[in-house]
Amino acid sequence: MYKIQYYLLALTLGCVYPSFGQQPQVVKARISGHGGQKANVTSQLQSGPMVGYSDTREVMLWAQTKQPAKVQIRYHEVGKLTPVHLTNEVLTDRKTAFTAHLLADQVDPGKKYEYELLIGGQKVSLPYPTQFQTQSLWQWRTDPTAFRFGVGSCTYVNEPEYDRPGKPYGGGYEIFSAISAQKPDFMLWTGDNTYTREVDWNSRTGVLKRYTHTRSLPEMQPLLANTHNYATWDDHDFGPNDADRSYWLKPVTLEAFKLFWTNPNYVFPEGCAGTFFWNDCQFFLLDDRTFRAPNDMPDGPAKAYFGDTQIQWLVDALTFSRATFKFIVTGGQIINPTEAFENYSIYGTERKRFFAAIAEAKIPGVLFITGDRHHSILHKLDRSGTYPLYDLTISPLTSSVAQPRADELKQSTYVDNTLVTERNFGLLSVSGPLNDRVLNIKVFDQKGTERWSRDLRASELK
């Protein structure tokens, strides 16, 4: 439906082709001319607006223009036309790919807000809702509210002149409409959120063009504009396929990641690792690339995956956390014991040490969310004397599908009837009173049809 609306607008106004050579992003703004006359003009919007992180006292928003422009967000509480607030105004610049991070800091906890994107002081009219929310102050007052979040990885957007010859690798872009229709509170992008190509990964210009190309997909815009977004990366948005710590341009791809995503924090000068909260749950966004030794390096104490520093921070943060569910989010599979592809099992020494550290610290509520594999599946690792560790792999969103190896489905960790070998996304819900929270996991195909569902109680992870 949204795609049709874009084309109707395009017929009326004419397509605006962005300076990076991407899909047209057609929107309409009204400006006042001399003598009170108003004229329609095509806007300078390249992609977005996107709703970023949410907290009780601030929300970050994002937008990208096609050329230098003054960008700002105007917002007010839903159902109340006043007071009206404005974010900081940003003059976008070519050096930063014309992106803008816009802070809404005149907000109260537990509220919903409608917002408008302003370019050059004029409202950009969009054919879909634009809202954001702040998180509630529930602590010491009430039970946390229920919430829902989307999960997905592996977003490939075709660009034939630069793709490898043959059958298109990407497709099924309507999946973003299916996710948006579920109205999640936020979307968790778990890696390979864009795919750099050979033409991209050797230059800053190439990296920024690729990030821009993916972000400009028309079908993605309604989801970005009306749902909070958090992300970590994997190899394809970090660098070439299977890239590791030796990748020569990793400071540039980190810069691009920070320009195009609005995570609330980064705990190391290098890499994209960080954390955020939603109600009584905490999410740990790990970086499985910046410190990673080559896959083909012989296993041993020196073969790092997350690396000692990141693991120590994670175990400390998990120990400190009082969250009901502690979601560890990273690109590649963690629990699957198959020593193949880029699974953590290839890094067996570190993996064993990592699992032992979690067990020794007696940390409740830990589970993993991963991507990468181009199919979705649930793995469960039973552990002696403590609760099992779950690893929910959700993949792909728009990339091509890949089957698991036959021996992977014979592993004791594989949870029967959870394999999905088509484009899909996850929808996770947390509900119930604080002392009996329940996590529901649902997996949907690209059309929005449910494929499977399971409940997991917090009491099972103690």
CATH of the domain at 30: 2.60.40.380
Q: For residue 160, is it within any domain? A: yes
Same-domain pairing of 92 and 175: no
- Identify the residue whose tokens are 């050059």: 120
Beta strand pairing call for 70-77 and 112-119: antiparallel
- Token pair for 355: 């699992």
Q: How many domains does the chain have?
A: 2
- Token pair for 314: 């994670």
The lowest-confidence range among 23-32, 232-241, 374-383, 434-443 is 23-32
Same-domain pairing of 84 and 212: no
pLDDT of residue 9: 35
- Look at residue 251 and give its three-state secondary structure: helix
Q: For residue 139, is it within any domain? A: no
Same-domain pairing of 105 and 166: no
Mean pLDDT of the chain: 92
Residue that finishes a domain, picked among 82, 108, 133: 133
Question: Could you report the per-residue pLDDT of 123-175, keeping only the tens digit for each?
Answer: 999 999 999 999 999 999 999 999 999 999 999 999 999 999 999 999 999 99
Enclosing H/E stretch for 360 = helix 348-360
Same-domain pairing of 85 and 176: no
| Full domain range(s) for residue 379 | 147-461
pLDDT of residue 27: 38
Same-domain pairing of 108 and 200: no
Q: Buried (b) or exposed (e) across 47-63, using 16+ Cβ within 10 A?
A: bbbbbbbbbbeebbbbb
Question: Could you report the per-residue pLDDT of 250-272, keeping only the tens digit for each?
Answer: 999 999 999 999 999 999 999 99
Same-domain pairing of 153 and 20: no
Question: Could you report the per-residue pLDDT of 406-427, keeping only the tens digit for each?
Answer: 999 999 999 999 999 999 999 9
Q: For residue 140, is it within any domain? A: no
Q: For residue 141, is it within any domain? A: no
pLDDT of residue 36: 32
Same-domain pairing of 80 and 228: no
Confidence of residue 122 (pLDDT cuts 50, 70, 90): very high
Residue that finishes a domain, picked among 108, 133, 158: 133
Q: What is the total residue count of the chain?
A: 462
- Identify the residue whose tokens are 């940003």: 90
Q: For residue 364, which amino acid is it? A: P
Same-domain pairing of 263 and 405: yes
CA distances from 183 to 147, 186, 226, 284, 369 (A): 10, 8, 8, 23, 20
Same-domain pairing of 129 and 164: no
